Amino acid sequence: MEQNNACSDEIDLFELFQKLYEQRWTILGITALTTVLAILVSIFMPKAYKAEAMVEVPIIQGSKVIDISEIQESIKVYKKDDTLKDILKNIKVFPVKNSQNMAKIEVEGASPQMAKENLEKILEIINKKLFTQKIEELNKKYTIRVNSINQTISETNSRNDIIYDPSKFADLLTEKEQIQKWLQDPKFVILATEIQTSSEPVRPKPLLYTLIGFITGIFLGIFVALVREAIKSRKVN
């Protein structure tokens, strides 16, 4: 019984290959068509170059002015904004492992120079447009903190009966300087490395597109060939 089933399977398989062979021109034609289409797509698709850079979020009072996850979420929201979506649509933000305040930003452009300019625009948008409300909140918070530091320094200088640790005094002055610097030019991300641009386009990838077109054509050709054979068999019956 098992031998008969095996023979039947072999016969079916032989018939399948025979039918595919009979439809070989259909399969080859469709494969050639999809491959040529893939090549044409890779030729005429606009080229895209990549620019990337490492950025860091400033740390003041021992904490980040903003979380990198907030930047990622805000970018998702502003991608729907008609005035910003063209620039933000291809941006990618990757937090750096084992770092609390570092991230990598990638953007694309029609040329290496345009990709670099897009990345510079992205940094400006993040610093000036995405978090206007956050800037107001931090301005109030840091202004109060500066006033508090000034009051502490004033009391320390005016009273001789207060013994103050010089290292803590220096820390207060450093903190005040950091806050004042941020208040003068509020930034949520700062370039940690120079902007790097790709010399070769990252899209399209002609070899990959051609391979995909070729493989797709084979499977599509086989499918069409089997459908044609099924229709032919029905007519005969």
Partners of 92 in the β-ladder? 106
- Over residues 26-46, the pLDDT tens digits come to 999 999 999 999 999 988 988
Mean pLDDT of 200-220: 92
- 62 with 124, same domain: the answer is yes
For the cut 90, the answer to whether the pLDDT of residue 155 exceeds it is no
- 20 with 117, same domain: the answer is no
Phi, psi angle pair for 113, to nearest 5°: -65, -40
- 37 with 54, same domain: the answer is no
Give the mean pLDDT of the chain. Answer: 86
pTM: 0.72
What 3-state DSSP class applies to 56? strand
Query: Which residue bears the tokens 């491959």?
Result: 35
- Over residues 183-199, the pLDDT tens digits come to 999 999 999 999 999 99
What's the domain range around 226?
2-45+205-236
- 105 with 94, same domain: the answer is yes
- What percentage of the chain reaches a pLDDT higher than 90? 49
- 110 with 220, same domain: the answer is no
Quote the number of domains for the chain. 3
**117-131 CB burial, b ≥16 within 10 A, e <16:** bbbeebbebbbeebb
